[in-house]
Amino acid sequence: MDKFANIFVAGHRGLVGSAILRALTREGFRKVVCRTSAELDLRETADVRRFFEERRFDYVFLAAAKVGGIVANNDYPADFIRDNLMIQTNVIEASRRTGVGKLLFLGSTCIYPKLAPQPLRESYLLTGALEPTNEPYAIAKIAGIKMCQSYNRQYGTNYISVMPTNLYGPHDNFDFAQSHVLPALIRKFHEAKLQDSPYVTVWGTGTPRREFLHADDLADACLFLMDRYDAGDIINVGTGEDLPISELASRVASVVGYRGDIRYDTQKPDGTPRKLVDVSKLTALGWTARTGLDDGLRRTYEWYLQNSAEASSRYGLPERQGSR
């Protein structure tokens, strides 16, 4: 990418978008444009078209999405499928109309069947039933993938789709009602430490296995793929390693400094038994993740202490505006 190219990062305040923005800034890109949802609602077709017509972007990173954990997906399924379909459709179509040179669409590994063989290969898409707890979100992401591929076929565009594994890092969502497992565990153990709680309860049995990728590694992979990948086929991004939730909980407790017991509420859902992605396709291109889990957890917890309203009030630290 030309350092003076016009670049739009959609969703720059979220976990993924903020990491992409940091990576672009670090690499010296000079003309990166971002808009908050208050400044530009990506669900509004006319507003998005007008914005793209005025700016004429060369590259678009489509990281904007409505995201959440099991609780949020279960409680607001209509919001998840509607908002994500609207965001994707508006940005992709506006990109086509204004001649965007290349677009990178961020999907999710929840697009793969719940009981697909492990590790998850890109070819497993649409070969089985999805995990019910986040099916509306997954269907929206699958629609985004197929939209990119269809545009490439019909209009000759260069839109690529990237499927990251479970993510964590700065600007994650630590709200219990909306967060994914790792940030939820960080907050749980942090609060338990402050309250000197004798135990922490974790949802499920602790046996499901998950893979975790630091958001900064994903951002690095996205820039790498913008430069070196032009195929319409989806491509996974991950570490190629996973661990049980029980081990993750123990490692989070260690990083936070919590020394009580960990208990499991087996009446709560586990979700997909295992979710590990096959990263051989990306590895063959020359990219691998660099952030170890323990180091990533320490950095994420430090960010939480500096930016969380709850943690800041407890420690007497100033809360940073717009941290989420």
Q: Binding site for NADP(+): which residues?
A: 11-17, 106-109, 141, 164-167, 180
Neighbouring residues of 248: CB distance < 8 A, sequence distance ≥ 6:
181, 182, 185, 210, 212
> Binding site for substrate, residues?
188, 203, 210, 270
Give dist(CA 249, CA 204) in Å, integer: 12
Tell me which H or E stretch contains 301: helix 293-307
Distance CA 172, CA 299 (A): 12
Token pair recorded at residue 56: 């004429």
Helix spans in 156-256 (H): 181-195, 215-228, 245-256
Question: Is residue 137 annotated as part of the catalytic site, yes or no?
Answer: yes
Report the DSSP beta bridge partners of residue 209. Answer: 244, 274
The span from the CA of 276 to the CA of 208, in Å, is: 11
Q: Which one of 76, 112, 137, 304 is the catalytic residue?
A: 137
CA-CA distance, 63 to 96, in Å (whole number)? Answer: 17
Nearest to 258 by CA among 197, 319, 202: 197
- In DSSP terms, 202 is beta-bridged to 264
**Active site members:** 137
